[in-house]
């Protein structure tokens, strides 16, 4: 989970580009594309690193989520882009000595690629009438829907997603969701819709109940997004509290 660095010039450019959405929370994401054959070993090392962080208490935090295609994502809130030039693990690395580097040497055998990028939570596209939150007690299962779009269709997709939220609100839907927007470090433009539930069965029941509530007219509203999307991808996932970490203030 190496912290990546971006020059101040690029950070300022990105900040300027996203100024209109400045009220929405930014997150850095470290993504590991883990080999299926190395899942067990990877989780063993990740738990060791997590325990080391609890011991040395680096000044950072992250929420860990996994997906059905063997991705592990470490999501860290950030205030601004200048934070990307900081390494919160410096003191920890010095205290651990060679053991710190050895952990990442072992990590590197578990995946062929990994990357870092920025996403932004979009408050006014998310539908959480009980309060906006990444986590909900007892609901660690996730459905992730990626909606990709080309630059020319960005505004139309956004308007379509506003219409979807309005439909959910007007119908009093119990199916709540959060929407994230791709940012710096992403190769493509997309919105990520994250839906929480207890497990796969609970997710299916919620989806069925929501479809019945919204009725046949939902297709017309959903089409306001679908006809401008370049493609869509859906994955099951889960929040992993055992691999998440939060700095403890003294």
Any idea where the domains of the chain sit in the sequence?
8-119+240-246, 120-237
Q: Is the confidence at residue 151, as pLDDT, over 60?
A: yes
Per-residue confidence band for 169, with pLDDT thresholds at 50, 70 and 90: very high
Task: Give the residue among 208, 140, 133, 224 at the shortest CA–CA distance from 175.
Answer: 208
Task: Give the residue among 239, 246, 18 at the shortest CA–CA distance from 120.
Answer: 18
Q: Is the confidence at residue 10, as pLDDT, over 90?
A: no
Cut 0.75: pTM above it: yes
Do the first three CATH levels of 8-119+240-246 and 120-237 match, i.e. the same topology? yes
Task: Give the residue among 139, 131, 134 at the shortest CA–CA distance from 73.
Answer: 134
pLDDT at 250: 72
Torsion sign (Cα): 111, 113, 117, 119:
negative
The model's pLDDT over 24-77, given as tens digits with 9 standing for 90+, comes to 899 999 999 999 999 999 999 999 999 999 999 999 999 999 999 999 999 999
| The CATH classification of domain 120-237, taken from the options 3.30.70.100, 3.40.50.150, 3.90.100.10, 3.40.1110.10 | 3.30.70.100
Q: Over range 221-245, report the average pLDDT.
A: 97
Phi and psi dihedrals of 59, rounded to 5?
-80, 75
Structure tokens at 218: 């939902």
Q: Is the confidence at residue 21, as pLDDT, over 70?
A: no
8-119+240-246 topology per CATH: Alpha-Beta Plaits (3.30.70)
Q: Is the confidence at residue 15, as pLDDT, over 50?
A: no
Q: Is the confidence at residue 244, as pLDDT, over 50?
A: yes
Judge whether 33 and 114 are in contact, CB under 8 Å.
yes
């Amino acid at each position: 989970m190496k912290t990546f660095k971006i020059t101040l010039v690029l950070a300022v450019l990105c900040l300027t580009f996203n100024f209109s959405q400045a009220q929405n929370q930014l997150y850095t994401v470290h993504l590991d594309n883990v080999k299926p054959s190395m899942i067990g070993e990877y989780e063993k090392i990740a738990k060791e690193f997590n325990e080391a962080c609890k011991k040395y208490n680096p000044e950072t935090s992250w929420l860990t989520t996994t997906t059905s295609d063997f991705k592990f994502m470490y999501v860290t809130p950030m205030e601004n882009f200048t934070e990307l030039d900081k390494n919160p693990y410096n003191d920890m690395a010095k205290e651990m000595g060679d053991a710190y580097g050895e952990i990442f040497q072992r990590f590197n055998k578990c995946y062929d690629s990994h990357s870092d990028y920025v996403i932004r939570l979009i408050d006014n596209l998310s539908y959480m009438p009980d309060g906006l939150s990444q986590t909900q007690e007892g609901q660690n299962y996730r459905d992730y829907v990626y909606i990709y779009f080309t630059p020319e269709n960005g505004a139309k997709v956004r308007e379509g997603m506003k219409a979807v939220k309005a439909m959910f609100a007007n119908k009093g839907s119990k199916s709540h969701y959060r929407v994230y927007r791709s940012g710096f470090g992403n190769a493509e433009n997309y919105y990520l819709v994250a839906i929480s539930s207890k497990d796969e069965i609970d997710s299916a029941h919620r989806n069925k109940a929501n479809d019945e509530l919204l009725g046949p007219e939902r297709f017309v509203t959903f089409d306001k997004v679908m006809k401008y999307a370049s493609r869509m991808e859906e994955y099951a996932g889960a929040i992993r509290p055992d691999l998440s970490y939060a700095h403890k203030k003294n």
